[in-house]
């Protein structure tokens, strides 16, 4: 998720509030509904995109009960700030909860300043995560670890150490770690992250991959399946799990329509095949980038606000809405 997904994020300063506590200083979000699991089926909403879906209408049309709200970044130090603005975050979270749903908040992404790189220690990073958890009364967080946050071993270890502290302080909170992948499964950086997650006892509940932006395009369902099977095998070897247990700790985060790579398209038929695989194997999470893009483009192109393929509004979200884990 490097260009289409990240294009607006490279100019994110226009959407951010001030440093420190001011970055999150907006009215408190509504309390989270108790019955909704925000991890299972929760498409990403990118607050920095030029088009924001009406979440209540989307939920009504698709059966979705949750969204992943992206992204929390660093203010240049060890304080959290929202890509897209704190008011947009609070308004979106409240709208989802007022419609009977819930959210998982995503930290990181490809572009911008990352808390994992700007906080000096695991305890400081855990404190930054905790500010957002407390303000929005979160039941789950997603760490979308990419770019240099992923490729720097010391930062990987800091993130994992922080997540261990978060789990200790927040009994019952669910932690998702989302990463890129090759068609055969996570690359060397991803394999290290997972093995360190075991070694450091980080307590990650779900390891989720983003099976797109491959260099050769091709059959995106076949690529997704092979990447997911590679993740399963890595989890088995790292944690000593059975197939069933490994699947239960896995997630898939796809991308609808045209991806960042020219010639690569994830079709609605691909989504239905991915859904069948996820349901059959009882994966923990199925999501995609992004609900902002779940509509056709008037120009026939693609971008942060449309998919670039022939579709009706909410077609891809309707597939995700069928996933029950």
Cβ neighbours, 10 Å, residue 182: 17
Q: What is the pLDDT of residues 210-269, one digit of tens each?
A: 999 998 889 999 999 999 999 999 999 999 999 999 999 999 999 999 999 989 999 999
Residue 257, SS3 per DSSP: strand
Q: What is the pLDDT of residues 51-71, one digit of tens each?
A: 999 999 999 999 999 999 999
Residue with tokens 């075991």: 198
Q: 206-210 and 174-180 as β-strands: parallel, antiparallel, unpaired?
A: parallel
Average pLDDT over residues 82-110: 98
The domains of the chain, with CATH numbers, are: 8-320 (3.20.20.80)
- pLDDT tens for residues 8-31? 343 343 333 333 333 555 556 677
CA distance 46 to 29: 18
Rounded mean pLDDT, 183-204: 99
Q: Residue 322 pairs with which residues in a beta bridge? A: none
User: What φ, ψ does residue 256 adopt, rounded to 5°?
Assistant: -85, 135
Q: What is the pTM of this model?
A: 0.93
pLDDT bin (cut points 50, 70, 90) of residue 303 is confident
Give catalytic residues, as residue numbers: 146
């Amino acid at each position: 998720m490097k260009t289409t997904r990240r294009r607006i994020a490279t100019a994110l300063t226009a959407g951010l509030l001030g440093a420190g506590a001011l970055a999150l200083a907006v009215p408190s979000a509504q309390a989270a509904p108790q019955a909704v699991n925000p991890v299972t089926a929760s498409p990403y909403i990118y607050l920095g995109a030029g088009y924001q879906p009406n979440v209540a209408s989307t939920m009504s049309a698709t059966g979705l009960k949750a969204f992943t709200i992206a992204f929390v970044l660093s203010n240049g130090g060890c304080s959290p700030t929202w890509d897209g603005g704190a008011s947009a975050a609070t308004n979106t979270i409240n709208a989802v909860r007022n419609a009977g749903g819930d959210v998982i908040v995503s930290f990181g992404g490809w572009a911008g300043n990352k808390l994992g790189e700007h906080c000096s220690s695991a305890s400081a990073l855990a404190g930054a995560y905790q500010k957002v958890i407390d303000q929005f009364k979160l039941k789950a967080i997603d760490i979308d670890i990419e770019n240099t946050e992923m490729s720097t071993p010391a930062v990987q270890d800091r993130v994992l150490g922080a997540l261990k502290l978060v789990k200790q302080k927040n009994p019952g909170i669910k932690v998702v770690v989302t990463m890129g992948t090759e068609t055969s499964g996570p690359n060397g950086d991803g394999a290290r992250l997972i093995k360190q997650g075991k070694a450091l006892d980080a307590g990650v509940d779900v390891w989720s991959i983003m099976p797109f932006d491959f260099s050769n395009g091709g059959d995106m369902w076949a690529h997704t399946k092979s990447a997911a099977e590679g993740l399963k095998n890595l989890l088995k070897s790292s944690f000593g799990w059975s197939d069933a247990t490994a699947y239960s700790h896995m997630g898939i985060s796809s991308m609808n329509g045209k991806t960042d790579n020219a010639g690569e398209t994830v079709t609605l038929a691909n989504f239905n095949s991915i859904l069948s695989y996820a349901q059959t194997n009882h994966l923990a999470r199925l999501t995609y980038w992004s609900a902002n893009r779940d509509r056709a483009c008037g120009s026939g192109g693609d971008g942060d606000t449309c998919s670039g393929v022939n579709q009706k509004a909410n077609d891809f979200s309707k597939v995700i809405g069928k996933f029950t884990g």
